[in-house]
Amino acid sequence: MTSAAPPAPEQRVEVPFMDLAGGIAPIRAQLDAAFARVLDSGWWVLGKEVEAFEREFADACGTAHAIGVASGLDALQLTLRALGIGPGDEVLVPGYTAVATWMAVSLTGAEPIGVDVDPETFAIDPALLDAARTERTRAVVPVHLCGRPADLATIAAWAAAHDVALVEDACQAHGATFAGRPVGGLGVAAAFSFYPTKNLGAIGDGGAVTTDDDALAERLRLLRTYGWRARGDSEIKGDNSRLDELQAAFLRVRLPRLAVDNARRREIAGQYLRALADVPGLVLPAGGDGHVWHLFVVRHPQRDMLRAALAERGVGALIHYEIPPHRTRAFATAGQTLPVTDRLAAEILSLPLHPTLDDAAVDAVIRAVREGCRA
Ligand SMILES: *Cc1c(COP(=O)(O)O)cnc(C)c1O
């Protein structure tokens, strides 16, 4: 790991992990117009923009419904609540995921049961589902981590055989496809986040549930706003979890660009995979059809040294996620054992990958990784 000298400051290309402002620049005028349209409408919560976005997003996912909510976390937890899941129930979740997947289950009163993942694909390992299931298991939540669709065919068959609901966590996988079909319509429902860093990001928080189930969609519409159908009379005990008109208007600007943005992500991932294939010690992520590369996560036995070497060369790399959910203080008391997840957490490193990363930046990342891995 003692690597070649870092480049002199004048030839150094700074590649931050993210460039959210840079992503806004090409659509600035459209966003300004959307902002003005909503301001002038005088209607800012649950109106025409949300309705239009819900229709457009449902079409993109090939589902009958999309229900806008306040975040990806809420999309998950409200879906589980709408399915009647709560105290006394168990929900199977992957060990390797964002803590939100686990937190959503807990917020319903149910218990998240971690299932270990496949070390190559990072997805929940279908072979481990039987051992994790009890008579309390009500749902399984596969996560399309990093934008790579989980093996939904196997998981759907397993879920159907055991009368367990399949809820997709598609928060990292807008536009991804499994066997040619968009994610979001492959289980009973799917949760999406529009957090700014996601493949489809708002200018703030937002989320949505997609589903083909009319009754579930209706229940979610009640749950997101105090259980109201008619304002003032709560039919059920609901929440306040609404997608703002402004965010919906911004998302309507971005949604038509999602396919182009995802194509650029695939192109960059392809460059990394080709240019880094022969680097000793470096394990590259699994590719695959339908992958939208929300994150490009490599593995290295000396991850922290590699990260430092990249930082020295101006390349920002992050760890998703340094502390897996079962090791966080909130969940560690349950004492769940997830050895593959633990091993991955020690080795993973996310390289910069977003649609506005240009070729010079991609080359700088490749150079920095090659130098950083040189023993
Ligand atoms: C981002 C994310 C969430 C939560 O979304 P928020 O909008 O931040 O609440 C849930 N699951 C996964 C896998 C995510 O990446």
| Closest atom, ligand 1, to C-alpha of 195 | 7
User: Checking phi first, is residue 227 left (phi over 0); if not, alpha (psi -120 to 50) or beta?
Assistant: left
- Break the chain into its structural domains and give their ranges: 22-255, 257-374
Q: What is the pLDDT of residues 200-230, one digit of tens each?
A: 999 999 999 999 999 999 999 999 999 999 8
Ligand 1 pocket by Cβ (under 6 Å): 71-73, 97-98, 100-101, 143, 169, 171-172, 193, 195, 205, 207
Distance in Å, CA 372 to ligand 1 centroid: 31
- Tell me what pLDDT residue 6 has: 64
* Nearest CA owner, ligand 1 atom 6: 72
Distance CA 112, CA 165 (A): 14
Tokens of 18: 């993210």
For 22-255, CATH gives 3.40.640.10
Parallel/antiparallel/unpaired status of strands 137-140 and 90-94: parallel
* Nearest CA owner, ligand 1 atom 14: 171
CA angle 342, 174, 33 (to 5 degrees): 130
| Closest atom, ligand 1, to C-alpha of 197 | 1
19, HSE (Cβ side, Cα atoms, 13 Å) = 17
- Tell me what pLDDT residue 10 has: 56
* Domains 22-255 and 257-374 belong to one CATH topology: no
- Taking CB atoms within 8 Å and a gap of at least 24, the contacts of 23-28 are 23/201, 23/354, 23/355, 23/356, 24/203, 25/356, 26/356, 27/253, 27/254, 27/257
- Tell me what pLDDT residue 374 has: 87
Parallel/antiparallel/unpaired status of strands 177-178 and 181-182: antiparallel
Distance in Å, CA 209 to ligand 1 centroid: 12
- Tell me what pLDDT residue 7 has: 61
357, HSE (Cβ side, Cα atoms, 13 Å) = 29
- Tell me what pLDDT residue 232 has: 86
- Which single residue is written with the structure tokens 């002038």? 40
Distance in Å, CA 4 to ligand 1 centroid: 38
pLDDT averages per 10-residue partition of the chain, 375 residues: 57 89 94 98 97 98 98 98 98 98 98 97 97 98 98 96 98 97 96 98 98 98 95 93 98 98 98 97 95 98 97 97 97 95 98 96 97 86
CATH architecture of 257-374: Alpha-Beta Complex (3.90)
Q: How many residues does the chain have?
A: 375
- Tell me what pLDDT residue 112 has: 98
Q: What is the 3-state secondary structure (H, E, C) of the chain?
A: CCCCCCCCHHHCCCECCCCHHHHHHHHHHHHHHHHHHHHHHCCCECCHHHHHHHHHHHHHHCCCEEEEECCHHHHHHHHHHHCCCCCCCEEEEECCCCHHHHHHHHHCCCEEEEECECCCCCCECHHHHHHHCCCCEEEECCECHHHCCCCHHHHHHHHHHCCCEEEEECCCCCCCEECCEECCCCCCEEEEECCCCCCCCCCCCCEEEEECCHHHHHHHHHHCECCECCCCCECCCCCECCCEHHHHHHHHHHHHHHHHHHHHHHHHHHHHHHHCCCCCCCECCCCCCCCCCCCEEEECCCHHHHHHHHHHCCECCECCCCCCHHHCCCCHHHCCCCHHHHHHHHHEEEECCCCCCCHHHHHHHHHHHHHHHCC
Q: What is the pLDDT of residues 142-159, one digit of tens each?
A: 999 999 999 999 999 999
Q: Which amino acid is at 364?
A: A
- Tell me what pLDDT residue 230 has: 84
| Closest atom, ligand 1, to C-alpha of 193 | 7
71, 193, 241: residue to mutate for ligand 1 pocket, most atoms within 8 A of CB:
193
Distance in Å, CA 360 to ligand 1 centroid: 30
| Closest atom, ligand 1, to C-alpha of 145 | 13
Distance in Å, CA 170 to ligand 1 centroid: 9
